[in-house]
A and B are shown apart, each in its own frame.
Chain A
Amino acid sequence: GENVEQHPSTLSVQEGDSAVIKCTYSDSASNYFPWYKQELGKRPQLIIDIRSNVGEKKDQRIAVTLNKTAKHFSLHITETQPEDSAVYFCAATNQAGTALIFGKGTTLSVSS
C-alpha cells in the first residue's frame, strides 16, 4: 500500500526565515497531495493541496511543489511567523482514491 515519508520530524526557525518540509510517496498512481496543519490541542486542517497535473501551487506565504518523477513533494513557508508554529502533515492518496495516507508529521517552531 501507499507509504509516505516526511522529513524533518522537527524544525526550528527564526521569525522571518523560510521553512521547507519534504515528503516522498511510494504509489506512483497517487494523484492528490494535501498538507494539513495541526495546532496544539486542535484538529488537523487543510492548508494547501496539489494535484498530479500541477508542478507548483502558491497561496500567499505558502507554496507546494511536486516532482512526480522522483515521487516527492515539498511545503515551503516564507516569512515565517510565530503563529506558523504547529505540526504539519503531508499526505497522498492511494491508487484507488479510497484512503489518504499521512506522513508522521513535522513539528515547526518559529521563535521571535
Chain B
Amino acid sequence: KAGVTQTPRYLIKTRGQQVTLSCSPISGHRSVSWYQQTPGQGLQFLFEYFSETQRNKGNFPGRFSGRQFSNSRSEMNVSTLELGDSALYLCASSLFEQNTGELFFGEGSRLTVL
C-alpha cells in the first residue's frame, strides 16, 4: 500500500511569489492535515480537511490556504511568500473521521524562500 506522497520534495522561491504544494493521502484515508515544521517550533498545525471540507485552521495568516479534492488529494497554497515561510511542510493522512488514530506523514516539501 502506497504511503503519503508529497510533491514537490524541494523548491526554491523568491519573496513575493506564490507556491502550491500537493499531497496524495493513503488510499481510503479521507482526513488530510498540513503542518509547518521549523527548527525550534516543532510541528505547527496549518489546517485539516475531511471529505473536501476544511474543518479546522491553525493560527496562520490568510496567505496560507488549502483545499481537498473529491479523491482526497489535497493542495496547500502560500501567496506573497516571505523569508519566514521557509520550512518543511508536512502532510499527514488519517483513516479516522476524528483525529484519534495514527497520522501517516509524507516526507514533506522543503520550501526555501530567498
Residues of A within 8 A of B (CB): 1, 6, 9, 31-32, 34, 36, 43-46, 49, 51, 89, 93-94, 96-105
Contact = CB atoms under 8 A, between A and B. Distances in A.
A90 to B, nearest CB: 10
Nearest to B50: A98
Given A96-B55, A98-B50, A104 B40 contact: yes
B23 to A, nearest CB: 12
Interface of B: 33, 35, 40-45, 48, 50, 55-56, 58-59, 90, 97-100, 102-103, 105-108
B15 to A, nearest CB: 26
B56 A31 contact: no
A93 B107 contact: no
B103 A99 contact: no
B105 A34 contact: no
Nearest 9 pairs of A and B residues by beta carbon: A97-B98, A104-B42, A98-B55, A32-B100, A102-B43, A43-B105, A98-B56, A99-B56, A105-B42
Contacts of A101: 45
A99 B31 CA distance: 10
B56 A94 contact: yes
Given A96-B56, A98-B55, 15 more contacts: A32-B100, A34-B102, A43-B106, A43-B108, A44-B90, A46-B102, A89-B43, A96-B55, A97-B98, A99-B33, A99-B56, A100-B45, A100-B99, A104-B42, A105-B43
Contacts of B56: 94, 96, 98-99
A98 B105 CA distance: 16
Given A43-B108, A89-B42, A93-B98, A98 B103 contact: no
